[in-house]
Amino acid sequence: MKKLSVCLMGLLVLAGCASTNVKDQATATPKANDATQAITNTVAAVDPLADTNGILARRSIFFAFDQSSVIDTGKPVLEAHAQYLKEHANTKIILQGNTDERGSSEYNLALGNRRAESTKKILVVLGVAGKNIEVVSFGKEKPASLCHEESCWAENRRADIVYNNVN
């Protein structure tokens, strides 16, 4: 209901800006941009996941080659998502484990599962209800990057956080 109210308010603000005559458009544009930014900030305040510039916009946790331990850069991301999930206790997520293309399909499915499980363990330790976290492995089947070199492989060694519902 709050999201609907925010959207309606935004439409009313934008509709008011749209009625400006042609000679006033140069002065109306900054106001329209200000209104749009205010709406974006309001939506982000209601739903932190809508904030495309914040830490919650980061949904991938990365791993070293052939490892299932989260690297240090992923810990602040997991802490932010854990905080959000604790505040929204009915929200469910899927942790999707992924690997680079090297190794057999069977090995990579198992490694992807270990990566997703390791991510889940951290979230549970941070206070997220384990019942709200599903773990799946895609192994090497869903690469984020398709080249055959280390820079791409590093992007593919990850666990992705996918939100099922946002409350």
What pLDDT does 108 receive? 98
| Phi-psi domain of 111 (left: phi exceeds 0; alpha: psi -120 through 50; beta: other) | alpha
Residue 1 in this model has a pLDDT that exceeds 70:
no
Average pLDDT of the chain is: 79
Q: Is the pLDDT of residue 55 over 70?
A: yes
Quick one: what percent of the chain has pLDDT higher than 90?
Answer: 63
**Cα–Cα distance, 97 to 108 (Å, whole number):** 9
Residues 37 and 87 in one domain: no
Count of domains observed in the chain: 2
22 shares a domain with 59: no
36 shares a domain with 86? no
Instruction: Please tell me the pTM assigned to this model.
Output: 0.69
Here the tokens at position 2 are 């709050």
Asked if 142 and 77 sit in the same domain, the reply is: yes
Q: Are 40 and 59 in a shared domain?
A: no
- Together in a domain, 14 and 63: no
Tell me how far CA of residue 91 lies from CA of 26, 98, 141, in angstroms. 44, 23, 27
Q: Which domain holds residue 135?
A: 55-163
